[in-house]
A and B are shown apart, each in its own frame.
Chain A
Amino acid sequence: MTNVAGASALRVHELCKNFPVPDAPGTRRLVLGGISFSMAAGELVSLVGPSGCGKSTLLRLIAGLDSLDSGELLVDNQKILGPSAERGLVFQDPNLFPWLTVRRNIEAGLVARGVSHEKRNEVDQFMRLVGLEAFANSYPHHLSGGMAQRVALARALINQPKILLLDEPLGALDAFTRMRMQDEVVRLWENRRTTMLLVTHDIDEAIYMSDRILIMTQAPGRIDREIDIELARPRDRTSDSFLRFRSEILEHLHLAGKAADPSA
């Protein structure tokens, strides 16, 4: 395993999580059924799978926002006990604090960790990183979807997290903004080499961005297949090898869908 400074390795082992079923009291539904995988420090991995397979649940567990039922979840061989600034999380909804300006939103992580005023000059650097200096004093409701998501990324990155968890961060954006943001996230990743785990519905996005793709099964979620994307960056979305990966994954998801559907 390569050791990258400022990034963490992640190990998920036989992880299970169930939730109570709202309509049927007393019964619980298994969402994650013994999921296992690991990530090297500084790796960019995508997680794809049918909706409702527990991808978001998995990210919340890694972030420390929920507790697991059984199995192991280790970051640099340490158990995850709760949320921490070392594991950033970006949601599909940017979830910017509407009462704070762009600048103060980005700064929020520093304030939350009690970093003193003098040491907050990094804020400017992060605003430049995502190209939003001109909007420093705007409130979130003035921002477009892409701009808001860039603020959310900067807000997560300012804490220098060792793992960045991305839960369909580009899912709500239009196609053009989305492609630009994919480049931007890859650029941020190449600069900082933070370990990134990206949940996405978009197979092209997964192939375009990640080192490795994990395909999950229908709930209870488990890793079904791992595909290494051995393509040089920047990647060409229309190249033969890109399209080969695409059809391979599509075929896999399609077959998995058929197997799960008894009427087929």
Chain B
Amino acid sequence: MQLAVPGAALVTFGIHFLISRSDLPLETHSYMLLFWEIVGVSIVLGIAQRFWPALRQWMRHMWPIFTAAILSLGVWDVVTTGLHLLPLPYFPGPAAVLRSLISDRGLLLDSTCHSFVLLLSGYAVGVIVGLVSGVCIGWSTSVRYWGMPLLKVVGPIPATAWIPLAMVVAPSTMVSAVGLIALAVWFPVTMLTASGISNTRASYLDVARTLGAGPAYLIFRVAIPAAVPNIFIGLFMGLGASFLTLVVAESVGVKSGLGWYVSWAQGWAEYGKVFAALIIMAAFFSTVMTLLFKLRDRVLVWQKGIIKW
């Protein structure tokens, strides 16, 4: 069982060794190094888990996934570098992607930072505005009367469809990108917050009233907490929409970030770099998603049976 990961690493490494014999050693050096590292780390973990039950638990859970991931690298290697089943230069092998990842790390890191700042500012603005408008629409019938039609008509337009207008109106591409991401986040957050607030169980509000609660208590300590499960659904939907908008906005307007990097690398036909950027995006976005799930689990400890991420 414990030998599955180093075993898979050796198999994949062997595959790579066989099919890349003709390549220059420099080309595949770092890829080989990666496998020695995997073998080394998994052996160290295999020894450590004898003395550390929590680690053993974790390893037992994660090992099949790791094994499959390493073996699929081998399959990718065979399909691309080995058998040339996929057209080049669009589908480089894993070794070439890793090389791009390492050789262009400076620019990739820089792009990730830019994307992160853009995502965070757009998401924050969208969430804040969305929460405020959602609470207003959910709580007050007159705000709902005027606000809901606007929300229903304007909200479903994909934020990216506003790009031509946003470019003209906003003073800089950065501002327009923040605005677009905020818009993409605002709609689901507002919608779900409003429905959460207006569906607050009437009996909770009745109880609070008989306890002497005023409007502030009813909104902030009853309706909003009751709406939190719904609000989180809106936050997740908004996060998905913000990733999409971020990448599109970066590839058409903003001259930095991972979205820009992908289209720039594509322009030079450097598909190794395209894949490298996709790997970074996957890691980056899923980390952000995981953080939001962790936050939700913290905030919603009072709820039973919540979905795990």
A100 within 8 A of B: yes
- Whether A245 sits at the interface, judged by CB under 8 Å, is no
Does any Cβ of A come within 8 Å of B303's Cβ?
Answer: yes
Residue A109 is within 8 A (CB to CB) of chain B in the complex: yes
Which residue of B is nearest A89, CB measured? B210
Question: Are A139 and B302 in contact, CB atoms less than 8 angstroms apart?
Answer: yes
Asked if residues A65 and B204 are in contact (CB atoms below 8 Å), the reply is no
**CB of A243 within 8 A of chain B?**
no
Chain A residues with Cβ below 8 Å from B206 are 60, 63, 65, 83, 89, 95
Nearest Cβ on chain A to B204's Cβ, whole angstroms: 6
Chain B 286-309: CB-based contact to A (< 8 A → 1; otherwise 0):
000000000000000111100000
What's the minimum C-beta distance from A8 to chain B, rounded to whole angstroms?
14
Specify the chain A residue showing the minimal Cβ separation from B305.
A141
Q: A93-B203, A97-B204, A97-B222 are in contact. Are A65 and B209 (CB under 8 A)?
A: yes
Answer whether residue B155 sits at the interface, using C-beta atoms and an 8 A cutoff.
Answer: no
Query: Interface on chain A toward B: helix, strand, loop, or mixed SS?
Result: loop
Residue A108 CB within 8 A of the other chain? yes
Range, interface on chain B? 20 to 34
- Bound-state Cα–Cα, A141 to B304, Å: 7
Q: Which residue of B lies closest to A113 (CB)?
A: B212
Given contacts A93-B203, A97-B204, A99-B225, contact A88 B302 (CB under 8 A): no
A-chain residues with CB within 8 Å of residue B203 when the two chains form the complex: 91, 93, 95
Which residues of B lie under 8 Å from residue A108 when comparing CB positions? 208, 211, 221
Complex Cα gap A83–B208 (Å): 9
Q: Could you tell me which residues of chain B, from 188 to 227, have a CB within 8 Å of some CB in chain A?
A: 201, 203-204, 206-214, 217, 221-222, 225-226
The B contact surface, by secondary structure, is helix
Complexed CA–CA distance, A60 and B210 (Å) = 10
Chain B residues with CB under 8 Å of A91's CB are: 203, 207
Q: Is B244 an interface residue (CB 8 A)?
A: no
Would A100 and B210 be within 8 Å (CB), given that A111-B221, A112-B217 are in contact? Answer: no
Residues of B within 8 A of A156 (CB): 210-211
Min C-beta distance of A161 to chain B, whole Å: 8
Q: With a CB–CB cut-off of 8 A, which chain B residues contact A141?
A: 302-304
Complex contacts, A155 vs chain B, CB 8 Å:
207, 211
- When distances are taken between beta carbons in the complex, the residues of chain B under 8 Å from A109 are 211-212
Contact among A60, A63, A99, A111 for B302, CB-based, below 8 A: A99
Max chain A Cβ within 10 angstroms of own Cβ: one of B209, B226, B304: B209
Contact present for B207 and A95 (CB under 8 Å): yes
**Considering only CB atoms and an 8 Å cut-off, how many residues of chain A contact the other chain?**
29
Min Cβ gap A135→B in Å is: 14
Minimal beta-carbon separation of B93 from chain A (angstroms):
52
Nearest CB of A to B306, in Å: 12
The reply on B73 being an interface residue by CB < 8 A is no
**Complex interface: chain A residues within 8 A of B201 (CB):** 95
B228 on the interface (CB 8 Å rule)? yes
Contact of B301 among A112, A139, A159 (CB under 8 A): A139
Whether A84 sits at the interface, judged by CB under 8 Å, is: yes
Q: Output the least CB separation between B217 and chain A (Å).
A: 5
Which residues 154-177 of A have a CB within 8 angstroms of B? 155-156, 159
CA distance A113 to B209 in the complex (A): 10
* CB of A22 closer than 8 Å to a CB of B: no
CB-based contact B212/A112 at 8 Å: yes
Interface digits, A64-100 against B, CB 8 Å rule (1 contact, 0 not)? 1100000000000000001111011101010101111
Q: Which of B210, B217, B228, B302 contacts A65 (CB 8 A)?
A: B210
Instruction: Decide: B217 and A111 in contact? CB cutoff 8 A.
Output: yes
B214 to chain A minimum Cβ distance, whole angstroms, is: 7
In the complex, what residues of A have CB within 8 A of residue B207's CB?
Answer: 89, 91, 95, 97, 155
Which B residue's beta carbon lies closest to that of A87?
Answer: B210
CA distance A247 to B295 in the complex (A): 59
For B228, the chain A residues whose CB sits under 8 A away are 99
- Hey, which chain B residues are within 8 Å of A85, CB to CB? 210-212
CB-defined contacts of A64 to chain B, threshold 8 Å: 209-210
7 contacts between A and B (CB under 8 A): A64-B210, A83-B206, A85-B211, A97-B204, A98-B303, A99-B228, A159-B212
Report A's interface with B, CB cutoff 8 A: 60, 63-65, 82-85, 87-89, 91, 93, 95, 97-100, 108-109, 111-113, 139-141, 155-156, 159
The 5 closest A-B pairs by CB, nearest first: A85-B212, A83-B209, A112-B213, A109-B211, A99-B225
